[in-house]
Structure 1
Amino acid sequence: MKIVGVRYTEKIYGSRDSPAVWNNELPWCDAINYGADVMAFQAFEIITDEGVSGLSPIHIGSLPERLSETIQGENPMNIERLWNKMYWATQGRLMNAVGAIDIALWDIVGKVTKQPVYRLLGGFRDKVPVYGSGGGLNLTKEQLIREQLWYVEQGHKAVKMKVGLADPDEDLERVKAVKEAIDPNIDLMLDVNNGWTVNVAIRMAKKLERYEIAWLEEPIWKMDIEGYSRLAKATEIPIATGEGWHGLEYWGRMLEKKCCDVIQADPTMCGGPTAWKKIATLAETHGVLMAPHHKPEHSVNAQITAAVPNGLIAEEFYPGYPIPMFEFYRGRPFQKNGWIEISQEPGFGVELDHDRMEWYKENHPTGPPKRIARSRRPSQSGLKINAPL
């Protein structure tokens, strides 16, 4: 079997409105990122000479030419060989693309062996808990509560919201309001998106402990290993981090310094399931859990979480985020009562629904974004007065 090419879907655009908060006028944002007004969907498949294809629902656009050339003519079953070739071809600088290809390769391996990927990676359990993720800082307090309650009404037993506003007291008010609104048995995670300094994070963590927060996510800059170590020692709240980083060297240092309780390695950005499984094994030796960041379609996240004994929980966004891309797959698992049953179909168990994609494109003629996504320096200094950026 040999790889003979890559086939892309046509790019489709759509809005990222929440079903609980329609027609929100403010752009989506967190502590350091402004979202685009529309988002793009584009998946790709790796094609083999034997008619077996591997789907990668990653939406990163066209692959760099050097990677397409690197895998051309190779046997897709040689996962470690291909991962190593891609890593050195890009010198570790294009891990999103490496991860996207790796996902498609695992889909092929699953189809050839007639096994779901989670079983090939370890097969620890056949269902995983999932939490509802949202809570953008653009939402008013009332809209935020409506959104979080919507997740609970759908059956989620855990939800996540953003914090990291310029005024820390406003963050505390929003957290208090959500905790009071949802059932006390519902777990609440907080995502800071690297928005605080170490001292602000320690101060805020102490104030947030009264709310029994399930985890505090990426409270400080991801590269500040010493800062994470200080913070983890200073609070009872579990610390989660790692969605945007890769490399066993980095994670080895984070784990040795006891910087976190939950690793959120993104299965695309870390280099695919091949790299994610190695990070999970390393984390297990330190008693640290895994909860993958939601970058690809969540059937991928659910499967890798189910594969390992330290898989904690998977992340799910509302249907329609960023567009109804979840409707573009046949076989996609949906949560029920806060759990996802892992597909027993070969590979990742999903296929593109081209008819649905064509229907959406014709009935929702949204063009390219007028407002592009961008990042900024965080404004959370811990002071009441913050200089505009």
Structure 2
Amino acid sequence: MRIAEVVTGTYRIPLAEPWVSAKYRITHHEYVVTEIRTECGLTGTGWCQTIGVGGLAIEQLLAAYLATTLVGEDPRNTERIWSRLWDECHFLGPAGVTTLALATVDIALWDIKAKAANAPLYRLLGGMADSVGVYASAVNLHLTQDQLLAQVEAQLALGYETFKIKIGRNDPIDDLDRMRAVRKLIGPSRTLLLDVNQRWTSGEALVQLTALREVNPGWIEEPMLSDDVAGHAHLRRTCGVPIAVGEQLGNRYDFWAYIRDAAADVLQPNVWKVGGVGEWMKIAHAAQLANLVIAPHNSLELSCHLVGAIRNGYLVENIFGGNLSDLGVVEQPITVTRGRIELPQQPGHGVVFHRDRLGAYRLDPGRPVQREPSVHAGVGAGAELTQAADFH
């Protein structure tokens, strides 16, 4: 079996409504989709996502430098191909654009590999479970308290038992009041996860988490800048709340630093950001040696296969409004039933993009993207909250 052709493109898809976290205001997701076709007729599809910046750079790295070097390779040699591309691109950078580009290739290769084995991806990778748990996630810092409670109530009605809420408003008392209200709504036995998107300093994190222990968080996600491994290790020893990190970490070495320094309780590798399926599995197995659980960030349709393959998988994240099914660009939407996914049984990962719908969002590599800056000053009071409420 040999690779005959590699085709890639970038698609800028608008969200139904803007998302606001402690750091970003997000209006679009950009998807870079790579299709690898073989001489024997098997085709694999891989993709990565950015929050609205950089998709065209990833596409050009693939199209101008990497795609032609794949022709003639056996697509089942995933480790060999990934290692060569990693070595070629490492001077450009060990993460970021580099690993996002490699992820689209690696995911497509594993799709082919599973199809050739006539097996769903999760079973080829390990087959630990045929169904996986899912938690409800949303980017909701800008919502009023009443809007937030209405959102969580709707998720409760769908049968979810675990909920992730954005915090990090300008007034920390506002955060605490909102989380008290959410805890009251979901009751004492359900799980409440908190995500501050790296907003706090080390001292702020300790003070805020001391107060937030009242609502019994299942974890605090990204309490500080993800580059600060030592700070997370100190916080983990002192704050009394489990630490979850990984959304912004870009390769296995970043995760190893957290494992080595006992700086986290839960690791959240994003399959796109770490370079694809093979690298994600290496991180999961390394975490197992340290008795850590894995709760992958984003990519619902692919993350369900990954969690289903491993022993130390926790839950899959469903970011409402942000998965491929909600965006309406896949032919077979994934179904979450009362907080669980029965894993797809067709060979491969099962994701088939709806080409006409996806094609409507195609970016022209030669044309500048018209957009507003995505980083904002904060949410929480006065004009900021009024402006945020105008999104609805």
Q: Does the TM-score normalized on the shorter chain lie above 0.5? A: yes
In the other structure, the counterpart of 1:364 is none
Relative to the length of structure 2, the TM-score reads: 0.85
Is residue 2:307 matched to residue 1:305? yes
Q: Name which of 21, 33, 42 aligns with 1:30.
A: 21
Q: Distance in 2 between matches of 1:260 and 1:55?
A: 33
Q: Name which of 15, 40, 48 aligns with 2:38.
A: 48
Which stretch has the larger CA shift, 81-90 or 141-150? 141-150
Q: Secondary structure at the match of 2:123?
A: helix
Q: Distance in 2 between matches of 1:227 and 1:116?
A: 40
The offset of 1:185, in angstroms, is 2.9
Cα shift readout 1:30-67 (whole Å, capped 9, x = no counterpart):
1222213x444553321112111111243445251222
Q: Distance in 1 between matches of 2:335 and 2:199?
A: 32
In the other structure, the counterpart of 1:223 is 227
In the other structure, the counterpart of 1:321 is 322
Q: Which amino acid aligns with 1:228?
A: H
The offset of 1:156, in angstroms, is 1.4
In the other structure, the counterpart of 1:133 is 137
CA contact (8 A) 1:205 1:237 kept: yes
Q: Which amino acid aligns with 1:102?
A: D
Q: 1:263 to 1:378 in 2, by over 3 A?
A: farther
Q: Which amino acid aligns with 1:85?
A: R
Is residue 2:62 matched to residue 1:83? no
CA contact (8 A) 1:157 1:338 kept: yes
CA contact (8 A) 2:170 2:379 kept: yes
Q: Distance in 1 between matches of 2:104 and 2:373?
A: 21
Q: Distance in 1 between matches of 2:154 and 2:39?
A: 46
Cα shift readout 1:307-357 (whole Å, capped 9, x = no counterpart):
110010100122x43785553323443111111111111110222233565
Unmatched runs of 5 consecutive residues or more in structure 1: 18-26, 362-367, 381-389
The offset of 1:131, in angstroms, is 0.7
Q: Which amino acid aligns with 2:33?
A: A
Q: Secondary structure at the match of 1:374?
A: coil
In the other structure, the counterpart of 2:387 is none
Q: Which amino acid aligns with 1:313?
A: L
Relative to the length of structure 1, the TM-score reads: 0.85
Q: Distance in 1 between matches of 2:373 and 2:322?
A: 15
In the other structure, the counterpart of 1:14 is 14
CA contact (8 A) 2:23 2:375 kept: yes
Residues 108-123 of structure 1 correspond to what in structure 2 (within 5 A)? 108-123=112-127
**Which one has more relative contact order, counting CA pairs under 8 Å at least 6 apart?**
1
In the other structure, the counterpart of 2:364 is none
Q: 1:357 to 1:255 in 2, by over 3 A?
A: closer
Q: Secondary structure at the match of 1:5?
A: strand
Residues 288-303 of structure 1 correspond to what in structure 2 (within 5 A)? 288-294=292-298, 296=299, 298-303=300-305
In the other structure, the counterpart of 1:279 is 283
Q: Which amino acid aligns with 1:188?
A: L
CA contact (8 A) 1:67 1:89 kept: no
Cα shift readout 1:277-319 (whole Å, capped 9, x = no counterpart):
111111111111001100x3x221000011110010100122x
Q: Distance in 2 between matches of 1:225 and 1:283?
A: 16
The offset of 1:73, in angstroms, is 2.3
Q: Distance in 2 between matches of 1:326 and 1:135?
A: 15
Q: Distance in 2 between matches of 1:339 and 1:323?
A: 17
Residues 51-66 of structure 1 correspond to what in structure 2 (within 5 A)? 51-59=41-49, 60=55, 62-64=59-61, 65-66=64-65
